[in-house]
Amino acid sequence: MAAPTYSIVLPAYNESARIASTLEMITAHASQHGWSAEIIVVNDGSKDDTAQIVTGYASNDARLRLIENPGNHGKGYSVKNGMLHAKGEILLFSDADLSSPIAEADRLFAAIRDGADVAIGSRWLKTELQIQRQPFHRQ
């Protein structure tokens, strides 16, 4: 497989309840938009079935990769580890619960393609700048 345009890094700790739906949403969005992408899940020492679920999805989709941290080191370590393994031209990280919808990535990727060095999504943006409002409990 040629180097992907996008690498999406998902740090994950005990995400077995939601990682399947997250992977389905991301892969569907990537396919719908014709993204050349890899999705890297960095398992941060989960004690549940997170790794097994990701491995199952990865066996059917070459875009998915699982990286196992040596124990539990936290979100920052996991993001860095995933970024260091990423092969894409443009890198994105998102929480495994997709607290920011994957559709927001389109705007971030566009900003990078338009010349920005870094693009950061935030729930605290003015309402008129948001594509999708966050639920109250996420604001």
Domain count across the chain: 1
Burial class (CB in 10 A: 0-12, 13-18, 19+), 3: exposed
For 130, the 3-state DSSP assignment is: coil
In a domain, 1, yes or no: no
pTM: 0.86
What is the Cα–Cα distance from 31 to 77, expressed in whole angstroms? 29
Residues forming a β-bridge with 46: none
Q: How confident is the model at residue 138 (pLDDT cuts 50, 70, 90)?
A: very low
Residue-wise pLDDT tens digits, 51-96: 999 999 999 999 999 999 999 999 999 999 999 999 999 999 999 9
- Yes or no: say if 94 and 118 are a contact pair by the CB < 8 Å rule: no
**CATH value at residue 93:** 3.90.550.10
What is the Cα–Cα distance from 60 to 130, expressed in whole angstroms? 34
Structure tokens at 39: 């999705």
Q: At 34, which amino acid appears?
A: G
The reported pLDDT for the residue numbered 122 is: 76
Residue among 130, 46, 131 at smallest CA distance from 96: 46
In a domain, 52, yes or no: yes
Residue-wise pLDDT tens digits, 111-137: 999 999 999 887 666 655 445 554 544
What is the Cα–Cα distance from 40 to 129, expressed in whole angstroms? 28
In a domain, 121, yes or no: yes
Q: Give me the mean pLDDT over the 31-57 stretch.
A: 98
In a domain, 14, yes or no: yes
The reported pLDDT for the residue numbered 127 is: 53
Structure tokens at 139: 């604001």
